[in-house]
Structure 1
């Protein structure tokens, strides 16, 4: 259940913030909110603006990734709150960006960081990867005992 709650919250929050940005902020307009620099851009490629124009292809990859996660979860080889949380963030982020790619042919990004301009789905994916790394490290230590 934790997996679904996190995934749905990530998707809803991501899509709501992107809607607000697309509705109220012009492309390339910059501003600061609560000390966070924001700039509205539209990215038709992948992370870092690579492979511009292939958004729909990456949308299909996101769908395949989500199908793979659902299949993987059925095997129940890895279970527990940590892995459920991780996969929830990953799936929520993949679906959030996948919706943009498949519906609009581009992803709305707006959170400025040193590594570029991202969105909440991107941050959810980063959290998911971090949680998987923590899960693997914990599992490794448990098996070592």
Structure 2
């Protein structure tokens, strides 16, 4: 079971290192082209959630993140012991939640830097923790679907 917590720790370390590199080496709003008209590193800060919603609501984020972290650890201990996919999924959610929580506690904002333009749409700038959260949630949905299918639930 500890291997899944190690996955979360590795994700937090990668997230924090990449954010540190951006903070130390780029000016705020500076942009570095990786793939022209598709992928850029853009130094950005976010005091809210995805797409900049709930700007400045730090107490709300502290409470929600604490609840999420406790809930994920509980689910990992109770339900993911015999389900590798669910355990990996929750590891990603845990790592992502903690990565952004660290930013909110120590910086008062989240460092974002991955900036994609997809089919002309400038997708909101995000970071490694955000990516881990999205991958984790998608994997949780897949694990849930597969579990329901395995149980023979025809409504899925």
TM-score by length of 2: 0.85
What SS does structure 1 have at the residue aligned with 2:114?
Answer: strand
- Determine the structure 2 residue equivalent to 1:134: 142
C-alpha distance in 1 between matches for 2:71 and 2:148: 24
- Give how far 1:34 is off: 6.3
Distance 1:56 1:20, change over 3 A: farther
Cα pair 1:44 1:106 within 8 Å, conserved = yes
C-alpha distance in 1 between matches for 2:135 and 2:97: 12
Q: Does 1:120 align with 2:128?
A: yes
- Determine the structure 2 residue equivalent to 1:39: 42
- Determine the structure 1 residue equivalent to 2:27: 26
Cα pair 1:87 1:128 within 8 Å, conserved = yes
Q: Choose 71-80 or 15-24, whichever is displaced more.
A: 71-80
Q: Choose 54-63 or 130-139, whichever is displaced more.
A: 54-63
Q: Which runs of 5+ in 2 are unaligned?
A: 117-121
TM-score by length of 1: 0.91
**Cα deviations across residues 56-90 of structure 1 (Å, max 9, x unaligned)?**
43133212210111222332377321011000000
Greater Cα radius of gyration, structure 1 or 2: 2
- Give how far 1:103 is off: 1.1
